[in-house]
């Protein structure tokens, strides 16, 4: 069995991969990364651990310590020029986040087609894959909650209220939340149009994926944690070499 870990800015997500079976574990707040040694103590024996970490060196150190406590070998992935059928057009290959890279690999292995890969977390990323598996480039936007909170925090007299989506909001909380959703949908729609390919697909992953899918107005598929799935493909390819 292999353990996959996606250490993001807000949450550390993980899953055990046994053959083709996935056992998703309870997410851990990234701020509690120092508890990972205790949290992995109950996990059945695994042969290796594959990690995508965009949360910084301190979190990486806590993950390494947790793996060492169990005698597990940890592989920390980074973006490459080419891997698992995906080629990387980023000007400085290593500067592409490992989470985006893993998501692109998962999307390509699942579709083998032109795809817009959208992940909705602390940030929203909108990345494009060609029909030949080339990463063409992508956008990074503030995530929905970050859009909402930054506006509230920077503006006098706005109250912290979750808000609900409305086409024509009639209160401030709904106006802020609906604006964040519409702005994100607009960016996705614009990038999809720029792909200019009738066969192009859209994959959505992350906490806001379902809500965005309902609003987009163009076909899209919601996929659970593309990063973990991408790590799985990377681990499988490594085992064959």
CA distance 19 to 60: 26
- Which residue, among 212, 230, 236, has the nearest Cα to 222 in the 3D structure? 212
Helix, strand, coil percent values for the chain (each to nearest 5): 40, 25, 30
Q: Structural domain boundaries of the chain? A: 2-76, 82-225
Task: Let me know: does 222 contact 120? Beta carbons within 8 Å.
Answer: no
Tens-digit pLDDT profile for the chain (241 aa)? 999 999 999 999 999 999 889 999 999 999 999 999 999 999 988 999 999 999 999 999 999 999 999 999 999 999 999 999 999 999 999 999 999 999 999 999 999 999 999 999 899 999 999 999 999 999 999 999 899 888 877 775 666 677 899 999 999 889 999 999 999 999 999 999 999 998 899 999 998 899 999 999 999 999 989 999 999 999 999 988 7
Q: What CATH number is given for 2-76 in this structure? A: 3.30.420.40
pLDDT at 157: 62
Annotated catalytic residue 127: no
* Residue 208 DSSP class: T
* 119, two tokens: 């992940």
pLDDT of 158: 62
Residue 124 has which token pair? Answer: 């929203």
For 164, phi then psi, to 5°, come to -130, 155
User: What pLDDT is recorded for position 237?
Assistant: 95
Quick check: 112 and 235 in contact, CB under 8 A?
no
Of the residues 6, 20, 57, 99, only one is catalytic, namely 99
**So what's the architecture of 82-225 in CATH?**
2-Layer Sandwich (3.30)
User: DSSP letter at 207?
Assistant: T
Q: How many Å apart are CA 117 and CA 100, to the nearest integer?
A: 9
Is 82-225 in the same CATH topology as 2-76?
Answer: yes
């Amino acid at each position: 069995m292999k353990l996959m870990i996606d250490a993001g800015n807000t949450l550390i997500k993980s899953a055990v991969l046994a053959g083709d079976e996935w056992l998703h574990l309870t997410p851990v707040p990234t701020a509690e990364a120092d508890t990972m040694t205790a949290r992995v103590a109950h996990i059945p024996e695994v042969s290796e651990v594959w990690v995508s970490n965009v949360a910084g060196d301190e979190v990486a150190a806590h993950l390494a310590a947790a793996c060492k406590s169990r005698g597990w070998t940890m592989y920390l992935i980074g973006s490459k020029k080419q891997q698992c059928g995906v080629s990387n057009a980023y000007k400085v290959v290593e500067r592409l986040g490992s989470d985006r890279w893993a998501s692109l690999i998962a999307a390509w292995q699942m579709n083998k087609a032109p795809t817009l890969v959208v992940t909705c977390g602390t940030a929203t990323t909108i990345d494009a894959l060609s029909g030949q598996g080339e990463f063409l480039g992508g956008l990074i936007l503030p995530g929905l909650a970050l859009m909402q909170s930054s506006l509230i925090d920077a503006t006098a007299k706005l109250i912290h209220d979750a808000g609900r989506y409305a086409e024509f909001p009639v209160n401030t909380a709904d106006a802020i939340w609906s604006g964040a959703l519409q702005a994100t949908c607009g960016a996705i729609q614009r990038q999809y149009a720029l792909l200019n390919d009738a066969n192009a697909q859209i994959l959505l992953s992350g906490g806001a994926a379902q809500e965005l899918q309902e609003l987009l107005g163009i076909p899209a598929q919601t996929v659970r944690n593309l990063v973990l799935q991408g790590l799985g493909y990377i681990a499988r390819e490594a085992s064959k070499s």
